[in-house]
């Protein structure tokens, strides 16, 4: 069973390795230096909260949460931007425990909502989200425009 802990700067290297794998899952080329820089800076600048799933002192998963706001509710929200568990640890419950940690953190910060997005083909993750009470948004369309 994995234990969940809030990540510190000392965890940046190990989380960055998984973050690079996460980016590759979303069809980005490998870039360990970029991954480390990104994770290190989010932690150093307190721009994100990262939770790590550990088993036998190995980090087997992580989730990264960004603070934001909802204009409609005029209240803070959290964006669960990234959640990744190593392929060999999937099915261990680590993903569920990371979701629980993210939800607890969002409540503690006074967020009125926590949101996430996943690939339409990521059926395994979707099943976990729905089993944990997350509801697929069917009323709003999401749009994105690449700027760089």
pLDDT in tens, 23-56: 999 999 999 999 999 999 999 999 999 999 999 9
Region 9-31: mean pLDDT is 97
pLDDT in tens, 47-97: 999 999 999 989 999 999 999 999 999 999 999 999 999 999 998 999 999
CA distance 98 to 8: 16
Contacts of 20 (CB under 8 A, 6+ apart): 30, 31, 32, 34, 35
pLDDT of residue 1: 79
CA-based nearest residue to 100, from 46, 51, 136, 67: 51
- Three-state secondary structure along the chain? CCEEEECCHHHHHHHHHHHHHHHHHCCCCCCHHHHHHHHHHHHHCCCCEEEEEEECCEEEEEEEEEEEEECCCCEEEEEEEEEEECHHHCCCCHHHHHHHHHHHHHHHCCCCCEEECCCCCCHHHHHHHHHCCCCCCCCCCCCCCCCC
**Residue 2 pLDDT exceeds 90:** no
pLDDT of residue 13: 97
CA distance 69 to 74: 7
Q: Identify whether the C-beta of residue 54 lies closer than 8 Å to the C-beta of residue 5.
A: yes
pLDDT in tens, 87-124: 999 989 999 999 999 999 999 999 999 999 999 999 98
Q: Identify whether the C-beta of residue 63 lies closer than 8 Å to the C-beta of residue 44.
A: no
pTM of the model: 0.93
């Amino acid at each position: 069973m994995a234990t969940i802990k809030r990540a510190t700067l000392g965890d940046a290297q190990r989380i960055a390795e998984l973050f690079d794998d996460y980016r590759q899952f979303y069809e980005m080329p490998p870039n360990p230096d970029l991954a480390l820089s990104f994770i290190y800076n989010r932690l150093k600048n307190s721009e994100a909260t990262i939770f790590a799933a550990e088993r036998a002192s190995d980090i087997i998963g992580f989730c990264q949460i960004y603070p934001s706001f909802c204009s409609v509710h005029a209240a803070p929200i959290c964006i669960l931007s990234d959640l990744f568990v190593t392929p060999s640890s999937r099915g261990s419950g680590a993903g569920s425990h990371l979701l629980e940690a993210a939800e607890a953190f969002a409540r503690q910060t006074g967020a009125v909502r926590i949101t996430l997005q996943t690939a339409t083909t990521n059926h395994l993750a979707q099943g976990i989200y729905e089993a944990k009470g997350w509801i697929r948004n069917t009323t709003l369309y999401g749009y994105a425009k690449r700027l760089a």
